Structure 1
Amino acid sequence: MNSLFEFRKLSSKNIVSPKGFSAAGMHCGIKHKKKDLALLVSEVPASVAGVFTTNAVQAAPLKITKEVVYNTGKMQALIVNSGNANACTGKQGIADAYEMQALAAKKLGIDPSLVGVASTGVIGQIMNLEPIRKGVGQLQLGNTLEHGIDFAQAILTTDTVMKNTTYSTLIDGKEVVISGTAKGSGMIEPNMATMLGFITTDANIESAELQKALSEITDLTFNSITVDGDTSTNDTVVIMANGLAGNNPLSPSHPDWDNFYSTLQIVAEDLAKAIARDGEGATKLIEVEVAGAVSDEEARKIAKTVVGSPLVKTAVFGNDANWGRIIAAVGYSGATVDPEKVSIKIGHALMVENGEPVPFSEEELITILKANEVKIYVSLGQGEGCGLAWGCDLTYDYVQINASYRS
Structure 2
Amino acid sequence: MIHDIQYIEGSITAPQGFRAAGVKARIKYDKKDLALIVSEVPAAAAGVFTTNAVKAAPVVLSKRHIAGGRAQAVVVNSGCANACTGEDGMAMALEMAREAAGHLKISPEDVVVASTGVIGDKLPMDRIKAGISEASQALSSPGGHDAALAIMTTDTVSKEALIQFEIGGRTVTIGGIAKGSGMIRPNMATMLAFVTTDAGITSELLQKALTYVTARTFNMVTVDGDTSTNDSLVILANGLAGHSPIKREDENFLVFRDALEKVCAALARMIARDGEGATKFIEVEVRNAPTFADAGAVAMAVANSNLVKTAVFGEDANWGRIICAAGYSGADLDPGRIDIFIGDEKMAENGAALNFSEERAKEILSREEVKITIDLHHGSEKATAWTCDFSFDYVKINASYRS
After superposition, the CA RMSD in angstroms is 1.2
Alignment of 1:199-214 (within 5 A): 199-214=195-210
Letter in 1 for 2:256: F
1:169 and 1:179 map into 2 onto residues whose CA distance is 12
1:32-51 to structure 2, matched below 5 A, reads 32-51=29-48
Equivalent positions of 1:204-353 (< 5 A) are 204-353=200-349
Contact 1:187 1:193 (C-alpha < 8 Å) held by counterparts? no
Q: In 2 relative to 1, CA 252–372 (structure 1 residues): closer, same or farther, beyond 3 Å?
A: farther
Q: Aligned partners of 1:74, 1:209: CA distance in 2, in Å? A: 13
Aligned to 1:196: 192
Q: Which stretch has the larger CA shift, 162-171 or 381-390?
A: 381-390
- In 2, distance between residues paired with 1:152 and 1:280? 18
State the 1:251 CA deviation.
Answer: 4.0
Structure 1 range deviating more: 107-116 or 363-372: 363-372
Q: Does 1:393 align with 2:361?
A: no
**Which residues in structure 2 correspond to 1:2-21 (within 5 Å)?**
5-13=1-9, 14-21=11-18
Identify the match of residue 60 of structure 1 among 57, 60, 71: 57
Amino acid corresponding to residue 101 of structure 2 in structure 1? A
TM-score (norm 1): 0.96
Q: Counterparts of 1:222 and 1:194 in 2: how far apart (Å)?
A: 6
Amino acid at match of 1:34: K
> Is this contact kept in 2: 1:203–1:247, CA < 8 A?
yes
Give me the whole-angstrom Cα distance separating, in 2, the residues matched to 1:328 and 1:388: 18
Counterparts of 1:205 and 1:141, CA distance in 2: 29
Note the alpha carbon deviations across 1:268-305, whole angstroms, 9 max, x for none.
Answer: 00011111111110111111111122211011000000
Specify the alignment match of 1:86 in structure 2: 82
How far the C-alpha of 1:360 sits from its partner, in A, is 1.3
Match of 1:186 in 2: 182
| Partner Cα distance (1:202, 1:144) in 2 | 14
1:176 aligned to 172, 175, 192, which one?
172
Deviation of the 1:193 alpha carbon: 6.0
Name the CA distance, whole Å, in 2 between partners of 1:184 and 1:324. Answer: 30
Where does residue 161 of structure 1 map in the other structure?
A: 157
What's the CA shift for 1:362? 1.4
Question: How far does the alpha carbon of each residue in 1:334-373 deviate from its partner, in whole angstroms, 9 at most, with x for none?
Answer: 1122221110000100110112211111121111111111
CA distance in 1, matches of 2:7, 2:193: 19
Q: Name the SS for the 2:79 alignment partner.
A: strand
Distance 2:140 2:173 in 1: 14
> Normalising by structure 2, what TM-score?
0.97
User: 1:130 — aligned with what?
Assistant: 126
> What letter matches 1:58 in structure 2?
K
Q: Is the aligned partner of 1:31 residue 2:28?
A: yes
The answer on whether the counterparts of 2:285 and 2:384 sit within 8 Å (CA) in structure 1 is yes
Q: Give, as a single letter, the amino acid of the residue that structure 2 aligns with 1:17.
A: A
CA distance in 1, matches of 2:249, 2:63: 28
The answer on whether the counterparts of 2:194 and 2:234 sit within 8 Å (CA) in structure 1 is yes
Measure the CA separation in 2 of the matches of 1:129 and 1:63.
19
Which residues of structure 1 form unaligned runs of 5+? none
Deviations 1:128-187 (A, max 9, x none): 111011122112333343x11110000000000000000000000100000000000101
Aligned residues: 401
Instruction: Give the AA of the match of 2:394.
Output: Y
Q: Secondary structure at the match of 1:389?
A: strand
Give the percent of matched residue pairs that are identical in Structure 1 and Structure 2: 54
Q: Tell me the SS of whatever aligns to 1:126.
A: coil
- Aligned 8 A contact 2:178 2:190 in 1: no
CA displacement 1:1-29 (0-9 Å, x = unmatched): xxxx2333245341100000000111112
Q: Which amino acid aligns with 1:335?
A: A
Aligned counterparts of 2:123 and 2:250: Cα–Cα separation in 1: 46
Secondary structure of the equivalent of 2:13? coil
Whether the 8 Å CA contact 2:5–2:262 is kept in 1: the answer is: no
5+ residue gaps, structure 2: none
